[in-house]
A and B are shown apart, each in its own frame.
Chain A
Amino acid sequence: MAGLEDLYREIILDHYRSPRNRGDLPTPPAVRAEGFNPLCGDEIVVYLELGDGEGDERVIENIRIGGQGCSISQASASMMSSSVKGHSVATARHLMKAFKSMMSIHEQQLGDGDDDESDHEHGDSDADADDVNLGDLDALRGVVKFPVRIKCATLSWNTLDQAIDESD
């Protein structure tokens, strides 16, 4: 049985207690996207400001996080913001894909048929997660052992995805 230390790693608790990039940005020039987890009430607001340029070449000049929710959702949002800030949209998408791949439930890890009713997306391949250096984000790996909490961890990434879409 997975223990609490698998879920609540020290680095996660640190991001929860001292969230990075907390706050908001004026819109415009920033865009604002809201994500909700209707099952538990968690809420993430992403403010995103992209630099000049074309499409995925644009750099994430600034990002701020609002909202409220459990330690996993808020820590994941904080870690997400730190990992993409100053990087291109292409890099952010790459991290997003790798992170979601890490958060995918694999049947062999879960045992027999413990089916989360979630709509989580399965990554294209395990290689996605292995090829990318996730840095601090790797601390969230243990969340996959707690299927009901996976949505907490992926909420901020889905909200970032929306914000990028709205920046186009």
Chain B
Amino acid sequence: MIEQVTQDGFTTAAVPHKFEAGTPPIAEIVGLGAAVDYLSSIGMERIREHEVALTAYALRTLHERFGDRLTVHGPSEPAMRGGVFSLALAEVHPHDISQILDQHGVCVRAGHHCAKPLMKVLGVGATARASVYLYNDEADIDALADALAEAESFFAL
């Protein structure tokens, strides 16, 4: 924000106004309102129920298909966690997992997730992390499991 503007110079307003020039984030505020309306129309409790049910399906499916070869970090009780799965697949590095998953249309984040101290506690350098939410269903979990199986067979010794 300015204080004075002339042909050959300007002065700024005092801090903090000096740094707060420009249009406020009007589109973002309107967008946030629309998102709140959308979530409220579905109901946050129902969204959470869907998330927990999908999480339970994911934990069960991944365990059935991979057993001890796949580690899902975090609590094993679905109600104790969000719909986020940080994965470790034996013998396959998270970046290689994400590369193969990507080729199978499954998007995950691989790396330390800006949480290096946590990686140290977990005893890993990185994880591959999948997330599910309202707009996912069981078919997406199956696609994740299929792609993980591809990664496992691709890197099998």
Residues on A close to B: CB < 8 A?
Answer: 3-4, 7-8, 13, 17, 39-43, 68-72, 146, 149, 152
Selected from B112, B125, B154, B157, the residue in CB contact (under 8 A) with A4 is B154
For A152, the chain B residues whose CB sits under 8 A away are 95
For B96, the chain A residues whose CB sits under 8 A away are 70-72
Q: How large is the interface on B (under 10, 10 to 19, 20 to 34, 35 or more residues)?
A: 10 to 19
Asked if A41 and B99 sit within 8 Å, CB to CB, the answer is no
Asked if B99 and A7 sit within 8 Å, CB to CB, the answer is yes
Assuming the contacts A41-B125, A71-B93, asked whether A4 and B99 have C-beta atoms less than 8 A apart, the reply is yes
B150's nearest neighbour on chain A, judged by CB, is A4
Selected from A7, A17, A40, the residue in CB contact (under 8 A) with B111 is A40
Asked if A8 and B112 sit within 8 Å, CB to CB, the answer is no
B62 at the interface (CB under 8 A from A): no
Selected from B99, B116, B125, the residue in CB contact (under 8 A) with A69 is B125
B58 at the interface (CB under 8 A from A): no
B126's nearest neighbour on chain A, judged by CB, is A41
Selected from A43, A71, A72, the residue in CB contact (under 8 A) with B125 is A43
A72-B96, A149-B99 known; 17 new pairs, CB 8 Å cut-off, are A3-B103, A4-B154, A13-B155, A41-B111, A41-B112, A41-B125, A42-B95, A68-B125, A69-B93, A69-B95, A69-B125, A70-B93, A70-B95, A70-B96, A71-B155, A72-B95, A149-B95
